[in-house]
Amino acid sequence: MNRLCGSSMQAILTASANISAGWGDCFLCGGIESMSRVKRRGFNWSPNPTLVKELPNAYINMGITAENVADLYRISREEQEEFALKSHLKATRANSEGNFSNELVTITSNGNEAYQDDCIRPDSTLESMSNLKPVFIEGGSVTAATSSPLTDGVVFSLICSEEFAMSHSLRPIAAIVSGAVTGCHPELMGLGPISSTNLALERAGWEVSDIDIFELNEAFSSQSIACIRELGLNPETVNIDGGALAIGHPLGASGARITCKAASILHRTGSQRAIASMCIGGGMGISIALEAL
């Protein structure tokens, strides 16, 4: 299925709905994306003529949406860089403490083993970030450091009913309580998690204050900061092992990654409730509410 950035999280929500409807009892959900092989727009770029005429914002650059959010919420470049640095520092600490060990699978290619994420930069500094030029508009505030980096990734998770887990001696770590997908203005697509999270909370019967762990996909610093502000989140509960600014955002895999990460942190810390949420290019947000078992 295709919901752009939210595809693998949508797969998890669809599996949950199918199980609730009695249309299955076990699903393997996830996604894969090789961003390093994504085709670039070149001089021969051929957009859909009807979309360009009727809905030109369908082709808006995601970096421009990040600039729009930064302008709307008056988020300075310095604040964006501080947020990005914290993401790298948290991911560095989590990696050194082994918090990714149960989430990474070693792969072998041409006799070489890859067992560690190369994207995290423990040597990141505010000084090095401040030397970067704006990427998307002249005089803008969004740089490569405050945008999620180009990465490849694959994530899969097993979603099943309680009965299936018991009959197959499986130990589930979290239950799916609710989920939601909402729309927002394409030019401000990074704000999608605000409405989708509020709807997921409403469906779960929870308040923001009930959430112990919040996994927010860091497509850009600006939209992450805006979502944290608008939702009234405690920053100490958000992306405690770092986020996409440090780990990367392989589009088809990210939704499953942050959902699994939220469940993993619940299990590791003994916390009770979590939300995983992300913005979606084109103007959407998707969220999932989890409860520890």
Task: Give the residue numbers marked as catalytic.
Answer: 5, 249, 279
Query: Nearest to residue 175, comparing CAs of 159, 153, 156, 152?
Result: 159
C-alpha distances (whole Å) from 236 to each of 90, 196, 212, 266, 269 are 11, 21, 10, 15, 14
Task: Indicate the pairing of strand 273-280 with strand 213-216.
Answer: parallel
Question: What token pair was written down for 25?
Answer: 């009892």
Separation of alpha carbons 235 and 71, rounded Å = 21
